[in-house]
Amino acid sequence: MSTAPVPGTAPSSVRVTHIGGPTTLLEFAGWRLLTDPTFDPAGRRYAFGWGTSSRKLAGPAIPAGEIGPIDAVLLTHDHHGDNLDEAGRALLPSAGTVITTVPGAARLGAGARGLSPWQSTTLEAPGRPSIEVTATPCRHGPPLSHPIVGDVVGFALRWDGQRHGVLWISGDTVLYGGVRHVAERLTVGLTLLHLGGVRFPVTGPLRYTMTARDAVDLLGTVRPHTAVPVHYEGWQHFQQPRATIEREFADAPPDVRDRIRWLPLGTPTDLET
């Protein structure tokens, strides 16, 4: 399957293609943005440090060679293989811009832009709306886990013509005060929620990303127009697959449940923001 640019997409509409794991292609108003590139085939085991590891169970719905030109990569963090693998890393030099964490930008070099939480940068190109990209807070594990898990950010994207609010990518995070601040500071139209309830045997019950119950809680606070689950399939350490998440969502209040939109892998879907 090849993915051609969509120059005519209206500024209030975004064509979202969920490629697998956290990886999505975002197309609107002539822009083509890619989140957390993971394009390795299934089968390999990846080490995440401190005795943690995981096997990739599914390859991408679209191979890296069929993605087409990319204007920018929004990389929540560069140091975990389920957010940037070898094939994804090989794609970075062909992208116009890479935006990530401050330590990640230093590691990647090549002009990558590093943002701390609530810092912003702007993507600009002739004939297209400028995009303000703001990093949002993440904590990729329990309290005091930062020395182990490292820096992670989410991203809020703002451009002229959005109808309901910013496009927010949560990033790999548990539910904590920093994430709740998004509701206080931003009006969210479309959100990509990193779920999966990540756990590792070596750390027992500790979670490293949001569970479905966390998502229900957060959505009740942030109240986006549309919420798209990502980062829930394709890896051994994702402990809550879609079926588990859907059971939790089924018991959510209607004003939360009705905001959730599942996307078929590899299929472009037009959504409002």
Q: For each of the chain's 273 residues, which pLDDT tens digit applies? A: 445 445 556 678 999 999 999 999 999 999 999 999 999 999 999 998 878 899 999 999 999 999 999 999 999 999 999 999 999 999 999 999 999 999 999 999 999 999 999 999 999 999 999 999 999 999 999 998 998 899 999 999 999 999 999 999 999 999 999 999 999 999 999 999 999 999 999 889 999 999 999 999 999 999 999 999 999 999 999 999 999 999 999 999 999 999 999 999 999 999 999
Q: Which CATH architecture has domain 13-261?
A: 4-Layer Sandwich (3.60)
**Would you give the DSSP letter of residue 66?**
G
Q: Angle at Cα 227 formed by Cα 221 and Cα 230, nearest 5°?
A: 120
H or E segment and range at residue 55: strand 52-55
Assess contact for 24 and 18: CB atoms under 8 A.
yes
User: Could you give the CA distance from residue 269 to residue 159 in angstroms, rounded to a whole number?
Assistant: 20
Containing 29, the helix (H) or strand (E) segment is none
The pTM score is 0.95
Tokens of 14: 């975004």
Residue 1's pLDDT is 44
Strand partners, 227: 191, 260
In one-letter notation, the amino acid at residue 107 is R
Buried b (16+ CB within 10 A) or exposed e, 104-127: bbeebeeebbbbebeeeeebeeee
Domain layout of the chain by residue ranges: 13-261
Nearest to 197 by CA among 231, 240, 228, 227: 240
Tell me how far apart the alpha carbons of residues 98 and 67 are, in angstroms, rounded to a whole number: 16
Amino acid sitting at position 166:
V
Report pLDDT for 9: 64
Which residue pairs from 123-127 have beta carbons closer than 8 angstroms and sit at least 24 positions apart in sequence? 123/31, 123/71, 123/72, 123/97, 125/30, 125/31, 125/71, 127/30
72 phi, psi to nearest 5 deg: -155, 150
What was the pLDDT predicted at 10?
Answer: 67
